[in-house]
Amino acid sequence: MPIYRLSIVILKNKINFNRGDDVKKVITYGTFDLFHEGHYKLLERAKALGDYLIVGVTSEEFDRSRGKLNVVDSLVTRIENVKKSGFADEIIVEEVQGQKFRDIKKYNVDIFTVGSDWTGKFDYLSEFCEVVYLERTKDISSTELRNSSHPILRMGIIGTGRIASRFIPESHLVSGISVTSVYNPKKTSADAFAEKWDLNSYSEENGFDEFLSCVDCVYIATPHQFHYDYAMKAMKAGKHVLCEKPITLTKRETEELYDFAEEHNLVIMEGIKTAFCPGFNKLISMACSGKIGTVRNIEACFTKLENPKSRELTDTEYGGSFTELASYTLLPIIKLFGTDYEEVRFDSIKNEKGIDIFTKAYFRYKSGMATATCGLGVKSEGQLIISGTNGYILAESPWWKTSYFEVRYEDPNNIEKYSEVFLKFGLRYELSDFVSAINGNKKNDIKLTKKESVAIAGIIEEFMKTKNQ
């Protein structure tokens, strides 16, 4: 039996009412980690919806199962904090998926409520009670409520494309950070994104500096060529940076960013999601363990057919399959063989605009060889094969979202199978390491080092030099 069951005191106000009385019961749920202003205001408004408020606080086990990362406070502390708010008449523990529906029936609940970040997700409960989504609190900067040992980091997003939209729901599953603002030079784009995700909107009109002054860190999700300028400006304003891949398109710029971060005690991380997910890390450890002998060959392939009208296939300067996908395919090569290759060669198939729709990079190392294959206009089987003197590792597509791989040997009956979770878009892993790094835990260094990031940018730079030849 988990210890918390013995130690928590579940609060229950002694309100005398019988079923049939006009008592309106409201229920809400949450992790309530690092209890902050957003939680307080949510509970305050939840209580105001009725007469009796039941709060379901998630158990550690339940949070793990739904992929919530970085939860800092214990269940006991989180319950204590909800209790201290003074709004809860009863506190229960949410332990399993599907419990909400049972609680609503069990406690004869009239209203289920939760923040607007969940809009639509709990509509199915409206069959049993009223469902109310309360507006999420955008700014949670109140020093009164911020826990000083673990302040909630306020994050701003730069860019409003597809990846930015995927990032927001993922960020809700990482504790200790809250996306509060968005920046896009174009006001209409910034406003539309802000409206959709309940954020403060910044554009050229109210200024990038204003945007930076309201956040502690940024996530850069713009087209590649703008990464360097935004990252440098953000760091010059003292902000930590998580930047989409490729962090820059040159070795020098990437080095400059990391050097600046080091000199100013800031965190900069390149968001190659694969590097941070548990399955890929397990795969790399397995390859390094000696299980398959000495690694001699790596074949990494990632192809994704794009719309020929897309930015990726029309931007003659920065588009193409290699700039778009090489961060993934180069990752296992650089991780396992290192950055000291003897030779790299590129071969591409180009479209009528001269943009590469399919590229192979061939590497020669002292101890082995490798190919990184990327395609936006040619489809292939996207596999990762790591060949050793004793056996090989095979990870099928989509290996860049590693959830399964096999270790195989000469004997075809001897196959070892490994599975790991990769939740939804998998952006929560890099974000969770980013938060840990800002809070002083350097463990993510091992997952993607400065040297590796610089080497990947250097190879992309080499490729870009050969593009017009």
Contact residues for ligand C2G, defined by CB under 6 A: 29-33, 38-39, 42, 58, 94, 114-115, 117-118, 136-137, 140, 178
Please, which residue, 99 or 397, has the CB nearer to ligand C2G? 99
Q: How far is the CB of 270 from ligand C2G (least distance, A)?
A: 27
Please, which residue, 173 or 325, has the CB nearer to ligand C2G? 173
- Which residues 6+ apart lie within 8 Å of 393 measured at CB? 283, 286, 287, 292, 384, 385, 386, 405, 406, 407, 408
Distance CA(184)–CA(191), nearest Å, equals: 9
Q: How far is the CB of 269 from ligand C2G (least distance, A)?
A: 23
Q: How far is the CB of 68 from ligand C2G (least distance, A)?
A: 6
Q: How far is the CB of 92 from ligand C2G (least distance, A)?
A: 11
Q: How far is the CB of 50 from ligand C2G (least distance, A)?
A: 16
Reduced to 3 states (helix: H, G, I; strand: E, B; else coil), residue 54 is strand
Looking at this protein, which amino acid is placed at residue 432?
S
Cis peptide before 2 (omega within 30 of 0): no
Q: How far is the CB of 36 from ligand C2G (least distance, A)?
A: 7
Distance CA(164)–CA(41), nearest Å, equals: 26
Please, which residue, 115 or 368, has the CB nearer to ligand C2G? 115
Distance CA(315)–CA(321), nearest Å, equals: 11
Q: How far is the CB of 47 from ligand C2G (least distance, A)?
A: 13
Please, which residue, 39 or 251, has the CB nearer to ligand C2G? 39
Distance CA(469)–CA(463), nearest Å, equals: 10
Q: Are the CB atoms for 429 and 277 separated by under 8 Å?
A: yes
Please, which residue, 29 or 341, has the CB nearer to ligand C2G? 29
Tokens of 241: 């940076």
Helical pair 37-48 and 75-85, crossing angle rounded to 10 deg:
50
Please, which residue, 56 or 391, has the CB nearer to ligand C2G? 56
* Euclidean distance between the first and the last CA atom of the chain, given in angstroms as a whole number: 67
- Which residues 6+ apart lie within 8 Å of 309 measured at CB? none
Please, which residue, 172 or 304, has the CB nearer to ligand C2G? 172
Tokens of 68: 């919530």
Shortest Cβ contact with ligand C2G: which residue? 115
Please, which residue, 122 or 318, has the CB nearer to ligand C2G? 122
Please, which residue, 63 or 306, has the CB nearer to ligand C2G? 63
Q: CA torsion 351→353→357→358, rounded to 10°?
A: 80
Q: How far is the CB of 146 from ligand C2G (least distance, A)?
A: 12
Please, which residue, 49 or 114, has the CB nearer to ligand C2G? 114
Distance CA(188)–CA(201), nearest Å, equals: 10
Q: How far is the CB of 140 from ligand C2G (least distance, A)?
A: 5
Distance CA(438)–CA(71), nearest Å, equals: 15
Distance CA(66)–CA(30), nearest Å, equals: 12
Q: How far is the CB of 11 from ligand C2G (least distance, A)?
A: 17
Distance CA(371)–CA(376), nearest Å, equals: 17
Phi, psi angle pair for 80, to nearest 5° = -60, -40
Q: How far is the CB of 156 from ligand C2G (least distance, A)?
A: 14
Q: Are the CB atoms for 111 and 27 separated by under 8 Å?
A: yes
Reduced to 3 states (helix: H, G, I; strand: E, B; else coil), residue 302 is strand
Please, which residue, 119 or 314, has the CB nearer to ligand C2G? 119
